[in-house]
Every structure is written in C-alpha cells, then in structure tokens.
Amino acid sequence: STANMDDCFELGFSSVRLATAELMKALELQPKFISASTRRDMYTEWHGRIEEMIKKRISKVYPDHIIIVENKADYDKRSALKLTAAPTWILDPIDGTMNFAHGFPYTCVSLAFWQEKQPEFGIIWNPFLDQCYTARRGYGAFMNVKPLNVSKRDQLSEALIIHELGTDLTFADKKLKNIDQIARKAHGLRSLGSTVLNMCMVAQGFADAYYEFGCHAWDMAAGVLLVQEAGGVVVDPSLQPVDLMSRRMLCASSPKLAQELSALLVKCKSTMVNVD
Ligand code: LIP
C-alpha cells in the first residue's frame, strides 16, 4: 500500500507538536524517573504517555502501518524488532532522557517514516530551544524554516567530531580508546547526550561528523534523512550501508571525512544487535 506522503507528514508533524507540549508540561511536574536496564538508561511515565498519544493518532488513520517505538516495558521483545519494506513509523517519545532529567535543554521528540527500507521523512522537535528539524526525501532539510547544509570541512584535523559514550558501558574500554584517538587527531570533540540532536548538529554544519556504538533504531531513524538531505552521508562505522537495527552509525559532512574517521575507530561489534 502506498500512503500519501503529504498526509503522513502532516499527521506526523501535528502529532509531534502535540507531544512536545506534553514534554514541556512534564518538566514542570518533575517526572518520576524509572530506571530501565541500568541506572543511566531511564524511562518515565511520560515516555508511555507520549507513545500512546502518537500511536493512537497514527493507527486511527493507518491501522496497517507498523510502529516501532522505544518502549522499555517491552524490553525483552526488542530483539524481535525488524525493519521490513512495509510502511513503518519509528518513534522515540523522548530522546535525551538523561538531559531531560537534569534540565539540560537537549531533549526532543523524534519521529521518522520509512518505507521500502528507505527514509521518507523525519521530524525532530526540541521544545526547550524551540527548534523543529524536518526533512522529506527530495525536499531538503530544515530547522524551523531555515534550510540546512552540512559543513564543507572534510579534514579530520579541522573537524569538530561528536561522539556518545552511551548508557551501556559494556564496551567502555574500546569507546575510551576511540575518544583518545580522535581527541589527538581532530580539532575538537563534543557530546550532547541525544543521538538524534547530535545528528542535527551535523546536518546544520555546526559539527562535521558524529559516530555512536550502542544507539537504537528509534534514536537515529529521523536523523538519517536529515543529514542526507543536508548533503551529508550516513553509514555504518565500517563504511558499509547504515543498518538501522545494527545499533551503530557514523554520519559526516562528506564521504572523505567519514573514511578518515572510520579508519581510526575500533568497531564495537554486533553482539550489541538489539540487545542490551
Ligand atoms: C539515548 C541517546 C543517547 C545515547 C544513548 C541513548 P534515550 O536515548 O539519545 O545519546 O548515547 O545510547 O540511546 O534513551 O534518551 O532515548
């Protein structure tokens, strides 16, 4: 079934807008944080509330569409998640949960639509900074109404690189080795605490590349198209095509920078696929 993309985008956009209003309310009410798998991997009642709200709106109009969502209640079922060719919505009700808990204003609602294993659109809304990032395939990437372009810096020695340690420290030794390597070769190193907002920084040309080992499909799904439509590349850290379910990703302003960065990285590997 081919859904009308204008209609899907409108529905996604209005749903995310409603969800961000909930997120602002949540912060005032000081939500109770529930630890999921580790002390750092957190889940709140608001994740569930936003999830329900958006799922209800989508399934009312498109009952046959698949919805993949960060849902800590279904933790054990995560390994069963597969991306198929079917029309699929991928939602992270709150990306940057640790930031949310601390009031660090890099938190957002992130929603993507994929079909035929290709991204059709992405909507990433950070209500705390009033920044709404959108991309539609073939139509460019935007922050509010401003078109986005990746930077022109393609040398690691001149590049600002973003990384995330993530909440899962199983591979901390390898991750720290990567940080050490890059800190010595790149111009600078940053970490915002939200996978998809890190991707926004690359799309916007504020940072030049970003990689992470341990991120989930819902963390990166909306950012893939945003970076591509802004003129950048999104790949697996090994430079193979990106796989949403592989829990790893590298994005950059150019293939050349992606290559230079990839060559430095110890690749934390596939035992991480959809399990924690
Ligand atoms: C988090 C990311 C963070 C990443 C963690 C985690 P959550 O998402 O945004 O940047 O390092 O692995 O996935 O749990 O706040 O949606």
Ligand 1 within 6 A of 194 CB?
yes
Domain closes at, from 147, 172, 200: 147
Which residues are 89's β-sheet partners? Answer: 67, 113
ipTM: 0.95
User: For residue 100, which atom of ligand 1 is closest to its CA?
Assistant: 15
- Tell whether 21 and 109 lie within a shared domain: yes
* Structure confidence by residue, pLDDT tens digits, 18-70: 999 998 888 777 666 655 555 666 777 788 899 999 999 999 999 999 999 97
Note the pLDDT of residue 74: 55
CATH number for the domain that contains residue 197 = 3.40.190.80
Note the pLDDT of residue 198: 98
- Tell whether 32 and 129 lie within a shared domain: yes
CATH number for the domain that contains residue 47 = 3.30.540.10
Q: Helix axis angle, 195-203 relative to 217-229, nearest 10°? A: 10
* Structure confidence by residue, pLDDT tens digits, 219-233: 999 999 999 999 999
Domain closes at, from 113, 147, 181: 147
Task: Please state the pTM of the whole predicted model.
Answer: 0.94
- Tell whether 183 and 263 lie within a shared domain: yes
- Tell whether 114 and 242 lie within a shared domain: no
Residues 6+ apart with CB under 8 A from 201: 162, 190, 192, 207, 210
C-alpha 179/C-alpha 8 separation (Å) is 40
Residue-range definition of the domain harbouring residue 57: 5-147
Note the pLDDT of residue 37: 56
Ligand 1 within 6 A of 31 CB?
no
- Tell whether 13 and 135 lie within a shared domain: yes
CA of 241 relative to ligand 1 center, distance in Å: 22
In a domain, 272, yes or no: no
- Tell whether 81 and 179 lie within a shared domain: no
- Tell whether 60 and 194 lie within a shared domain: no
